[in-house]
Chain A
Amino acid sequence: MRKIFVMTLALVLALASCSFADVKIGAGIYRFNDAFMLRFRNAMTAESGKLGATIEIADGRDDQPTQDAQIDGFLSGDVNVLIVNLVDRMAAQSVVDKAKSANIPVVFINREPSLEVLNTYSKAYYVGAKAEESGVFSGQLIADYFKSHPEADKNHDGKLQFVLLRGQNGHQDMILRSKYSVETIRDAGIEPVELAGAIANWDKLEAMKIMNAFIMSIGPENIEAVIANNDEMALGAVEALKAQDYNAGNPEMYIPVVGVDGNASALEAMDKGEMLGTVLQDAENQGAAAVRLALALAEGRDVNTIGYPITDGKYIWIPYQKITRGEKQ
């Protein structure tokens, strides 16, 4: 009995390690020069390499028509399965329709299509993180800091005057992170007051410019926290603050800044005390899950055997992690 079990195991392992040699994944990324998507890409390449499948990754250059053309190229080529990080999540339906007519499975990553769209095709899935969770965590980072540092309430009114730097307009992460970070602060018993907010498109340079205008027009002494939808924007805010001698070591001149993603540059800024914390989005597990799911779909195997739980028949959710200064992994 045991012998049979061992043999079966060996067979399964052998199958698992060599059976994907002829499977080719076509992956479309919304934009290559995005720090988080870079980690995602590296994770996907590593996982495909480990499982012996080939993966071809295309740069959508932040332009949906470009990405559409790349997907058409994949579909007319020899690709067995698609992994798509949409530029514009409203374009999901047309991607699903194309994949469906070619009978090629599609796994969406990072930018979530609506459930109605996913429901139009049995082989359409989504791998990502629950954006509301990252919002909750960044709200907690700020609320915890506010409670443990009474001096953070600069005007002693018991309320939290904050600035919000938002990501791209319409992106589900931007909407949910903004909403839940503020709600979490309120749930923690602190009244949040949004002094100003602006869309900085996930971009450091843009965030720096906007934050600079806020510092000048509101006054840094009136800002009690900066909440950014991602790390790059948080770092832009940090640069703008540093230009006014804030967050540069003097505890009298400090504004807590939080981001989301957990990129290397954010971790470094946290080590230097320029940034309060970030919410780590687990690119490694997301990338691995996306590749494993894609391969299972391409092979027509049961998607429940890949090692990541499928929720509602359509989703794989990878949890976030909250990290602050001194907790660098």
Chain B
Amino acid sequence: MAETKSRSKRLMTTGGLIFLALGVILYFAKEPMGLNRKIYDLPVFLIIIGICFAVKGFMAKDKTEEEAALAGKTFTEFLTNNAILIAMLVLVVVICILQPRFMQIRVALDILTQSSTKLIMALGICFALLIAGTDLSAGRLVGLAAVISASMMQTATYANRFFPDLPQVAVWIPIVAAVVACMVCGALNGFLVAKYEMHPFIATLATQVMIYGACSLYFDMPPNNSQPIGGIRPDFAQIGQLRLFSGLWKGFPGISILIPISIVICIIIWFILNKTVFGKNVYAIGGNREAAVVAGINVFRNIMFIFILASFLYGIAGVLEAARTAGATNNYGNGYETDAIAACVVGGVSMSGGIGKVGGIVMGVLIFTVIQYGLQFINVSPMWQQVIKGVIIAVAVAIDLTKYRRK
């Protein structure tokens, strides 16, 4: 009896140890065997994966017989539920075979860097999704924040300055200005949704158009006249470009500052959603709005707060985007909301509200970024990338819907 109980646990631990051993062997063998340019950092990845599995297997709780039987029965279910994840793993293997350079630590770090702003976006938009809404204004708010912050952060000698007479202000001023501007727009979103019970789709569609228009007007002000903002001050660009621990050992590219920033934000959002009254209220409103009202939750205040908090995150994402690329145009952030929604959905956030976890969103963002990055890596045509992206979203939503219908 005890044997069946811990079979899955032992399988995981053994598998992990095998990966670990393989990794260690390859690590020492790749130099003498001349595999350096064939497998790159694969051994390190194997070691990391191995340790993760081994620890997870070791720590996992023993499953009861019933649960074990259930797990066996639902193996096909497991496959369908994780179809996107499995597709990603297959894709990663294929890419590694086609282009072994994919197996580099710098590539993994790069994927994490690119995931960072997307994660911040997704964490913002998940609040709107949790109350069975959506936020179409997210992408344009990124553009607004990028343009506002970049416009005040140009070097004194740059030929086409946005504000020719602006002194070299402290870095935090434009950041606060950009984020506050976004929060005002977020408040408008919240007001329309909460006060008039407008569907968030319509409310945020309206604000999206307004924001883009307003941003374009700002961007078109003379003497800038809609030209891409350049000549960004290095101290501002550092916010998005700084790399920590670079050169720690030879060839280590360093960890982009964006990664710790997004991790901190992720932890804060996890705390808000799981440990605060506001977080519980979000789930309650999303699960059943009428019940929430009856239970005495102040829906108006909570919805206002949801949209303001979300737009705060979009503002941060916009500032980081401007800093990372050392520039901005009013077109920044275009379509980011769809990517963020797609990542949330792939990560298990239900479009019908009330269901979704921060961990799932992180997974969704990572899966999406890995797939996009991987396709770009093997130089798949952007048209095919679009097709594949669409298929992923459709499949993810289909799985999401069948999952909840079953319940």
Please tell me if B379 contacts chain A, counting CB pairs below 8 Å: yes
CA distance A203 to B329 in the complex (A): 10
Stretch of A30-38, A142-150, A296-304 contacting B (4+ beta carbons < 8 Å): A30-38
CA distance A232 to B216 in the complex (A): 19
Looking at chain A's contact residues, is the secondary structure mostly helix, strand, loop, or mixed? helix
* Nearest CB of chain A from residue B112's CB, rounded to whole Å: 13
- Asked whether A213 lies within 8 Å of B382 as measured between CB atoms, the reply is no
Please tell me if B402 contacts chain A, counting CB pairs below 8 Å: no
Interface size on B, as a range, is 35 or more
CA distance A247 to B230 in the complex (A): 18
- Asked whether B227 lies within 8 Å of A38 as measured between CB atoms, the reply is yes
Chain B residues whose C-beta falls within 8 Å of the C-beta of A236 in the assembled complex: 325
The one of B101, B160, B325 in contact with A205, judged by C-beta atoms closer than 8 angstroms, is B325
Q: Which residue of A lies closest to B157 (CB)?
A: A268
Q: Which residue of B lies closest to A198 (CB)?
A: B379
Within 8 A of A (CB), among B349-407: 373, 376-379, 382
The one of B106, B246, B330, B376 in contact with A210, judged by C-beta atoms closer than 8 angstroms, is B376
Please tell me if A251 contacts chain B, counting CB pairs below 8 Å: no
Please tell me if B279 contacts chain A, counting CB pairs below 8 Å: no
The one of A35, A203, A217, A264 in contact with B378, judged by C-beta atoms closer than 8 angstroms, is A217
Within 8 A of A (CB), among B207-230: 216, 219-220, 225-228, 230
- Asked whether A33 lies within 8 Å of B329 as measured between CB atoms, the reply is yes
- Asked whether B327 lies within 8 Å of A268 as measured between CB atoms, the reply is no
Please tell me if B62 contacts chain A, counting CB pairs below 8 Å: no
- Asked whether A33 lies within 8 Å of B227 as measured between CB atoms, the reply is yes
Interface size of A in residues (CB-CB distance below 8 Å): 36
- Asked whether A213 lies within 8 Å of B379 as measured between CB atoms, the reply is yes
Please tell me if B99 contacts chain A, counting CB pairs below 8 Å: yes
CA distance A218 to B158 in the complex (A): 34
CA distance A56 to B12 in the complex (A): 70
Q: Which residue of B lies closest to A197 (CB)?
A: B379
Please tell me if B15 contacts chain A, counting CB pairs below 8 Å: no
CA distance A198 to B106 in the complex (A): 22
Q: Which residue of A lies closest to B382 (CB)?
A: A199
Q: A216 with B106: in contact, given A204-B325, A264-B230, A268-B230 (CB under 8 Å)?
A: yes
- Asked whether A265 lies within 8 Å of B228 as measured between CB atoms, the reply is yes
Q: C-beta contact mask, B308-347 vs A, less than 8 Å → 1, else 0?
A: 0000000000000000011101111000000000000000
Chain A residues whose C-beta falls within 8 Å of the C-beta of B226 in the assembled complex: 32-34, 38, 59
* Nearest CB of chain B from residue A189's CB, rounded to whole Å: 29
Chain A residues whose C-beta falls within 8 Å of the C-beta of B227 in the assembled complex: 33-35, 38, 263
CA distance A213 to B372 in the complex (A): 11
CA distance A263 to B110 in the complex (A): 29
- Asked whether A239 lies within 8 Å of B379 as measured between CB atoms, the reply is no
Q: A213 with B377: in contact, given A32-B225, A219-B101 (CB under 8 Å)?
A: yes
Please tell me if B287 contacts chain A, counting CB pairs below 8 Å: no
- Asked whether B326 lies within 8 Å of A239 as measured between CB atoms, the reply is yes
Chain A residues whose C-beta falls within 8 Å of the C-beta of B241 in the assembled complex: 242-243
For the complex of A and B, 7 pairs with smallest distance between CB atoms = A265-B230, A32-B226, A264-B159, A38-B227, A213-B376, A33-B226, A264-B160
| Residue contacts A-B, CB under 8 angstroms, 5 given | A32-B226, A217-B377, A242-B241, A263-B230, A264-B159
Which residues on A are within 8 Å of B, measured CB to CB? 32-35, 38, 41-42, 59, 196, 198-199, 203-205, 208-210, 212-213, 216-219, 232, 235-236, 239, 242-245, 263-265, 267-268
